[in-house]
């Protein structure tokens, strides 16, 4: 996250220099407020990363994992609030279709949290709602260059087209985190032998790595699209 924040600030400086030379910048809709919001959101995400990468996320006690998840969810809720603010500033609006498509996913996440980590349910439900709003706003087609009031850049790649996939990948990543917690709870309850324990640990590591990979790509796509 610090590298992403540094990239955002670097692009802001470059755009500022371009405006000073040409007197205008027709290819960017990003303002100083957007840069501040995105940077603040990345700071919140980094705080969440630190919490979730701590020993609590790999604790043997499911209750410790649930407490860690609650702390991470609080930090990530602040990060999602920043994403929501930037997307709204760029003209994104919620549509009934986007909300309806994400509602079952949110309900499934809440249900999984209720089974795997009841003590973390309030934090997970609140964060999940914020994430669903971010994803729904990011899917608004009017955000893409060349549609609505957004001018086309003429570039072969358009960062704004990564917003919708970024929102979806974020949901996938957090779903994998919940799946890890559920797997650990089931494995602990089953009390399997050494071989079964190794199998659970292997799947846990796979889910952990995949969750982190999809999360990083999601953040990159959202940040790039929000600051292009």
pLDDT tens digits along 128-172: 999 999 999 999 998 886 555 454 544 446 778 899 999 999 999
What is the enclosing helix (H) or strand (E) of 192?
A: none
User: What residue segments make up the domains of the chain, in order of their start?
Assistant: 2-226
The confidence score (pLDDT) of residue 205 equals 87
**Cα dihedral 170→176→178→182 (10° resolution):** 170
The confidence score (pLDDT) of residue 156 equals 46
Whole-model pTM? 0.83
Residues making up the chain, counted from first to last: 228
Give exposure, 157-167, as e/b (b: 16+ Cβ within 10 Å): ebbbbbbbbbb
- Rounded Cα gap, residues 28 and 226, in angstroms: 10
In 3-state terms, what secondary structure has residue 24?
A: coil
Stretch 83-105: mean pLDDT: 95
The structure tokens listed for 208 are: 């952990």
Which percentage of the chain shows pLDDT scores above 70?
Answer: 82
Determine which of 106-110, 121-125, 142-146, 204-208 has the lowest per-residue pLDDT on average.
142-146
The structure tokens listed for 150 are: 């957004």
């Amino acid at each position: 996250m610090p590298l992403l924040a540094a990239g955002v600030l670097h692009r802001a400086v470059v755009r500022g220099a371009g405006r000073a030379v040409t007197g205008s910048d027709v290819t960017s809709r990003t303002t100083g407020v957007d840069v501040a919001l995105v940077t603040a959101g990345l700071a919140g995400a980094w705080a969440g990363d630190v919490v979730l990468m701590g020993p609590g996320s790999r604790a043997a006690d499911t209750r410790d994992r649930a407490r860690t998840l609650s702390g991470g969810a609080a930090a990530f809720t602040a990060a999602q609030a920043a994403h929501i603010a930037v997307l709204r500033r760029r003209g994104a609006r919620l549509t009934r279709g986007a909300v309806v498509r994400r509602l079952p996913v949110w309900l499934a996440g809440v249900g999984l949290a209720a089974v795997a980590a009841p003590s973390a349910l309030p934090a997970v439900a609140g964060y999940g709602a914020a994430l669903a709003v971010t994803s729904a706003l990011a899917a608004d087609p009017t955000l893409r260059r060349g549609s609505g009031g957004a001018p086309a850049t003429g570039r072969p790649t358009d960062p704004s087209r990564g917003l919708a996939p970024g929102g979806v990948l974020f949901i996938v990543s957090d779903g994998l985190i919940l799946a890890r917690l559920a797997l650990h709870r089931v494995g602990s309850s089953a009390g399997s032998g050494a071989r079964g324990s190794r199998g659970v640990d292997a799947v846990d590591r796979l889910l952990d790595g995949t969750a982190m990979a999809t999360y990083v790509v999601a953040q990159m796509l959202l940040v790039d699209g929000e600051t292009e």
